[in-house]
Amino acid sequence: MTISKELLDELMERMLGAELTAAPSGGSVLDLVYQEADGCLQDGDAANFENKIVLSIATRLRAEQYMLGRINDPSLPGDIAGNQTTELLKRFRHDFPGDVAIPTMDRVVLMTPENIHLNSFMYEPILDMSDEHLRKIYGDVTAL
């Protein structure tokens, strides 16, 4: 199922009880995340917390999208009960042992948090990571 930005806006308006004034984008939320991440690549080298969050999320999504496309099993990701990216990587390793993408996927699992939410301790790994490292890993996953 593809979630459109309009549907997300509608849900947020219902939950918040206020009309959102964000610019219309048309496409899916996934496309919007990738557009924002691509924009982060153009920013300067200064540490930018927002960019780090966007790049972390986009990197995980791109990695999962890549593995799901290669595995090509319609039951996925629905059958995954635990850490989705880690479980996909286990399956990817099984189906494609020695694949050149495995080291990149290992870095994704190691360096980007599975869940990003408002608890401050969850941000610590992202804060400690350099912008350049996140840009590199996002670029590597995108290039696959």
Residue 61 is assigned to a structural domain of this protein:
yes
Q: How far is CA 2 from the centre of its chain?
A: 15
Residue 111 is assigned to a structural domain of this protein:
yes
Residue 36 is assigned to a structural domain of this protein:
yes
The number of folded domains in the chain is 1
User: Which pLDDT band, with edges at 50, 70 and 90, does 110 fall under?
Assistant: confident
Highest mean pLDDT out of 4-18, 20-34, 44-58: 44-58
Q: Is the pLDDT of residue 69 over 70?
A: yes
Site of tokens 């996140």: 134
DSSP secondary structure letters along 35-77 = HHHHHHHHS-SS--HHHHHHHHHHHHHHHHHHHHHHH--TTTT
Residue 3 is assigned to a structural domain of this protein:
no
pLDDT at residue 96, as a whole number: 98
Of the two residues 137 and 28, the one the predictor is more confident about is 137
Of the two residues 142 and 16, the one the predictor is more confident about is 142
Residue 40 is assigned to a structural domain of this protein:
yes
Residue 47 is assigned to a structural domain of this protein:
yes
Residue 123 is assigned to a structural domain of this protein:
yes
Residue 16 is assigned to a structural domain of this protein:
no
Q: Which domain holds residue 39?
A: 28-143
